[in-house]
Chains A and B, each alone.
Chain A
């Protein structure tokens, strides 16, 4: 198997693999690679299993990705969340044997007839999907991660260490991967160090990348799947809320969180669903942290593209375009002279 399999390679390998797993004749009737999956190569595959049609999604580790995470963590998160009311694809198989497709991969059930582009929604659709988006996030924050078995999936931090541990992790990513010195990131890291928030109100499952684009919905209906759990961890629920409200996800319309709802409304829905009350001072810290974490990811993707570890065009796009936008957001947050045009923390 070559490092980058062709669609035909994947088609043949999947048919053999699933026939063996399901002890049934599996044929691949259609396969396409999905563009934009930055952390894994993603393939949408239509199967006939003993005469019955069904779809699956295969996620294969790329040589390099925006987010260097363990596939077992992501797969474990899907398994733990699947029985809850948070919709996720059904996890089917996690395969670490690299001889099959040249890299480890996982297979999940397909979410049929779903889209992810919120920009195509009309005003009613934005309101409907936005309300669901932050209600689901509030529901996730309210859950007891230990009761869901997350202590088998990831480390359990102390409540008063959640912020410091996340900060240390992303600081190290910036310091290791920056190609050019980052004065704005450096100023933001110093500010975050000086202003660490209080202990988390509770320990929650943190999705880690909860934003528009990372969930699927029926165009006229409901959210049918929350995707991309590869940065999932346990921590402060404010972390996900802050990330979901980062202006990067609504660049052209900073008043609408995630291009869906006014910020205050999104927060109200989250508070109601989570049963938590926002601590404004701590939340400000997490907003700044979210922008720094974003910057770390873009700096890292730029470095991966530059050093040749990853050749995907999405790495260059993220590194070249998003770094400057995220930097601009951080200046807006932290400069005493900013005009606060992104509507962020004040």
Chain B
């Protein structure tokens, strides 16, 4: 088992920046390698918080979708048996969480297009925009 993989990856990225970059022979190689190190650091962040941030999205999207269904908005994907949350079986890998996140995002797009111009569903529209604002903040990379 690798202890603390994200901090390990960050340390490796730091080592590339401090030791490898200065030893390179061209400005292009130095800039390219420095950017690779920055991207490694970004990946380390995503390893640490990626599942949590996607699960937070999934929770809010699930609530919006249920509210839409309760308001009588047809959600074909739910009628055909789509799930709104991970069932606890199996690992919470990024791949698995991504799949559900993508599925719910598609439903959200469909609901948003239904409600965005309707006075009747203004509360739902508001909650969708607030979610979109929150998720875009949540996933912002600190680079």
Contacts and interface: CB of A to CB of B under 8 A. Distances in A.
Q: Do A and B come from one complex?
A: yes
B98 interface: yes
A338 B129 CA distance: 9
B42 to A, nearest CB: 6
Interface residues of B, number: 33
Contacts of A331: 129, 132-133, 136
Interface in B26-77: 26-28, 31-32, 35-36, 38-39, 42
Given A324-B140, A325-B140, A335 B133 contact: yes
A325 B36 CA distance: 20
A93 interface: no
A335 B132 contact: yes
A114 to B, nearest CB: 16
A190 B113 contact: yes
Interface residues of A, number: 30
Contacts of A180: 98, 101-102, 105
B133 A324 contact: no
Nearest to B129: A335
Nearest to A186: B109
A32 B27 contact: yes
Interface string B102-118: 10011011001100100
A195 to B, nearest CB: 12
Contacts of A184: 132, 136
Contacts of B98: 180
A311 to B, nearest CB: 10
Given A313-B35, A324-B136, A337 B27 contact: no
Nearest to A327: B136
Given A187-B116, A313-B36, A313-B39, A320 B28 contact: no
B2 interface: no
B139 interface: yes
A247 B99 CA distance: 32
20 contacts: A7-B26, A33-B28, A34-B28, A180-B102, A180-B105, A181-B105, A183-B105, A183-B108, A183-B128, A186-B109, A313-B32, A321-B42, A328-B136, A331-B129, A335-B129, A335-B130, A336-B126, A337-B126, A337-B133, A338-B133
